Amino acid sequence: MLPKVEIVNLNKSFYKDGVEIKVLDNINLKLYDGEFVSIIGPSGCGKSTIFSIICNLQNQDSGDIIVDGKKDNINKRFAYMPQKDLLFPWRKLKDNMILPLEIQGEDKNNSYKKVDSLFDQFGLSGFENAYPNELSGGMKQRAALLRTFLIDSDIMLLDEPFGAIDAINRDKLQVWLLDVWSKFKRSVFFITHSIDEAIYLSDRIYVLSDRPASVKLEIKIDLERPRDKKIITSQKFMDYKACLLSALE
């Protein structure tokens, strides 16, 4: 089966005061249709840089990004959610939500209708006219994810979407994300620092080394879907965790 996204021999360096800082060293990753794949590794190893290169926000030094079988597919649109929610504080929630539809040239009234049907699914019903400063951290993240889902793309790049959320709400959002993902069936690359989160959410996990990042391990997560939070205490889950912890040492 042809991957939705294939990253082949990706290399990237930055330069500071004339000194080369190599960030990515021969990175090879694959994402298949409908798959949920996590990328974990030490802080600053270059995980976010990979997403920037996929989205053509930065150029690689060498290597290829193959999307839907096409090399350097610059016309491909990605649903990219960076680490911060990036909600506009001067816009009501419903107006923040329709932003990707506005950019895609949709009529404003039709955009509202599309968004209205999703507020309940994303746990935001009743807050359509609220401003971002009136929302909790978890609600802001759900709003940012709703906006990301509205981008016309079958490939999502989620960069630590729950990184700033407390543990209790993070657990709830993980359960919620899997439910939404199962309905929308997008192909997802997901960056996280949480091993438990990666195991719970993913079909496969890539472990990156410290900078310059290389792929230390690729592991398939063979846990039944739909998933229940009870699996985090299972022996199989703990075995996966031990394997990943060892790879990160």
Q: Which amino acid is at 66?
A: I
Check whether residue 45 and residue 89 sit in a common domain: no
For 169-179, write each residue's pLDDT tens digit: 788 888 888 98
What is the pLDDT at residue 53?
93
Check whether residue 188 and residue 93 sit in a common domain: no
Domain count, the chain: 2
pLDDT-based confidence at residue 168 (cuts at 50, 70, 90): confident
CATH at residue 204 = 3.40.50.300
Residue where the block lists tokens 């690729």: 218
Domain final residue pick, 110, 129, 152: 152
Check whether residue 49 and residue 165 sit in a common domain: yes
Check whether residue 134 and residue 193 sit in a common domain: no
Q: From residue 139, how far is each of 86, 170, 205 by CA, in Å?
A: 13, 11, 27
Q: Is the pLDDT of residue 140 over 90?
A: no
CA distance 169 to 179: 15
In this prediction, residues 181-203 reach a mean pLDDT of 93
- pTM for this prediction: 0.89
Q: Got the DSSP string for 151-177?
A: SS-SEEEEESTTTTS-HHHHHHHHHHH
Other CB atoms within 10 A of residue 26 CB: 14
What is the pLDDT at residue 74?
67
CA distance 73 to 66: 7
Other CB atoms within 10 A of residue 160 CB: 19
Domain extent at residue 179: 5-78+154-248
In this prediction, residues 123-138 reach a mean pLDDT of 88
pLDDT-based confidence at residue 191 (cuts at 50, 70, 90): very high
Check whether residue 168 and residue 103 sit in a common domain: no
In this prediction, residues 32-43 reach a mean pLDDT of 95
Q: Is the pLDDT of residue 90 over 90?
A: yes
CA distance 247 to 195: 11
Q: Please indicate whether residue 221 or residue 110 has the higher confidence score (pLDDT).
A: 221
Write out the two tokens for 212. 């310059």
Which element (helix H / strand E) includes 140? Answer: helix 137-150
What is the pLDDT at residue 65?
93
Check whether residue 207 and residue 119 sit in a common domain: no
Check whether residue 10 and residue 24 sit in a common domain: yes
CA distance 236 to 234: 5
Check whether residue 71 and residue 96 sit in a common domain: no
Other CB atoms within 10 A of residue 215 CB: 17
Domain final residue pick, 94, 122, 152: 152
Cα 6 from chain centroid?
Answer: 16
Task: Say which range, 9-18, 41-50, 142-151, has the weakest mean pLDDT.
Answer: 142-151
Check whether residue 68 and residue 178 sit in a common domain: yes
What is the pLDDT at residue 183?
83
Check whether residue 104 and residue 147 sit in a common domain: yes
Q: Is the pLDDT of residue 204 over 90?
A: yes
